[in-house]
Amino acid sequence: MSAVPPSLQEPQAARVFELAAELFGVLSTPLRLRVLSALCNEEKTVSQLLAEIDTTQPNLSQHLTVLYRAGILARRKEGAQVYYRVQSEKAAALCRSVCTQVAIELDDRAQLPLQERLVGRVA
């Protein structure tokens, strides 16, 4: 099975892979995945996120900006507080699906055959 419909011409197919790679690039940082996970159920302020995620405020703000600019997060300001929430439910679902599968594979009790694994080898 091809990753893109056969009806797409080469320039369009190339663009599909470019955009997918951009999305995977945005989601390729563990801290961004943690942020997305922390925001899956409710919006939170930067202070609330800092209480959950072990990082510095400048580092967290940098990652929030990347997720916001990519359209994955939305933000709103209320007084001095900035609240972030998931904007792209599809991106959150992708993250949830991949992280859940990796967690299953990390479980020693999950004796999955290699063809059923997302990650070939888990150290």
Res 109: pLDDT: 62
Structural domains in the chain, sorted by start: 30-116 (1.10.10.10)
Q: Which residues of the chain have pLDDT under 50?
A: none
Name every residue whose Cβ is closer than 8 Å to that of residue 114 and which is 6 or more positions away in sequence: 120
- For the entire predicted model, the pTM comes to 0.83
What distance in Å separates the CA atoms of residue 2 and residue 10, rounded to the nearest whole number?
13
Res 90: pLDDT: 95
